């Protein structure tokens, strides 16, 4: 199927947060450093964090503990520290949420262009909703989205298709009419399972893997580029 065919009927977009709209690794680094200090464990490097984010807080905390304890993520030593670590992480993250993160280039311009073109917008992220809502507001992004789902808003998170299918139902649109835009295989797998077209950006995290390896319908250099591409395929000539 060609790009023209895939995007021709698009009426809405579901956009990821971490690694797609915001570079939040600095926030993760500060919060995890505080957590690890409380547990009397050594700090983790930003480069190590970048390959761990994207699958939700529980996965992140398990991965960090496993790395620092040199254990399996579900081993008894990790389990023994997990609850305390999660509480500390959430406390530290909420205290600094958004203070060290930054918008990627052309995010605002891209959202403005999509909105101007009449696309309905949703944000679907695996970040907990308690972190997501204030972060979007702090960065001036909250006004763009009719629907926002965090990783704990529904019974299952990406790469499960449930969040994307829920947005499609919210909008009263078929999955083929709703494009997903993200930076990782989580976004693409969820979109494929839901039946949504999917575009990927090349600058995010993607668990340390190359974006070229993601099964998507195309790579766009920015959200503004995505808006222009969608417009070019959905505007009658």
Contact assessment for residue 21 and residue 107, using Cβ atoms and an 8 Å cutoff: yes
User: Distance between the two ends of the chain, CA-based, in angstroms?
Assistant: 20
Rounded average pLDDT over 189-215: 92
**pTM of the model as a whole:** 0.92
Provide the pLDDT for residue 208: 77
Q: Is the link from the previous residue into 189 a cis peptide, with omega within 30 of 0?
A: no
Partners of 181 in the beta sheet? Answer: 15, 199
Q: Which residues are catalytic?
A: 16
Tens digits of residue pLDDT in 17-44: 999 999 999 999 999 999 999 999 999 9
Residue pair 150/130 in contact (Cβ under 8 Å)? The answer is yes
Structure tokens at 122: 């949703």
Q: Residue 229 in contact with residue 7, Cβ under 8 Å?
A: yes
| Per-residue pLDDT band at 233 (split at 50, 70, 90) | very high
- 23-37, 61-75, 208-222: least confident range: 208-222
Element spanning 51, H or E: none
What one-character-per-residue DSSP string does 52-68 give?
Answer: TTTS-HHHHHHHHHHHH
On the CB side of 204, how many CA atoms lie within 13 Å of its CA? 32
Contact between 196 and 180 (Cβ < 8 Å): yes
């Amino acid at each position: 199927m060609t790009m023209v065919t895939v995007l021709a009927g698009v009426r809405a977009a579901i956009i990821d947060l971490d690694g797609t709209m915001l570079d939040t690794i600095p926030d993760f680094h500060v919060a995890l450093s505080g957590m690890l200090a409380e547990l009397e464990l050594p700090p983790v490097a930003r480069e190590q964090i970048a390959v761990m984010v994207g699958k939700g807080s529980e996965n992140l905390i398990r991965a960090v503990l496993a790395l620092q304890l040199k254990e399996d993520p579900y081993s008894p030593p990790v389990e023994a520290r997990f609850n305390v670590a999660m509480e500390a992480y959430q406390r530290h993250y909420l205290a600094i949420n958004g203070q060290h993160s930054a918008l990627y280039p052309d995010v605002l311009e891209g959202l403005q262009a999509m909105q101007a073109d009449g696309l309905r917008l949703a944000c679907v992220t695996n970040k907990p909703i308690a972190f997501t809502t204030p972060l979007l507001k702090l960065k001036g992004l909250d006004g763009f989205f009719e629907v926002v789902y965090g990783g704990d808003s529904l019974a299952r998170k990406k790469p499960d298709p449930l969040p994307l299918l829920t947005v499609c139902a919210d909008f009263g649109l078929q999955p083929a009419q709703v494009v997903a835009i993200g930076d990782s295989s989580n976004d693409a797998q969820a979109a494929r399972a839901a039946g949504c077209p999917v575009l990927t950006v090349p600058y995010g995290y993607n668990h340390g893997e190359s974006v070229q390896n993601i099964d998507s319908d195309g790579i766009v250099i920015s959200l503004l580029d995505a808006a222009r591409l969608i417009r070019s395929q959905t505007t009658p000539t």
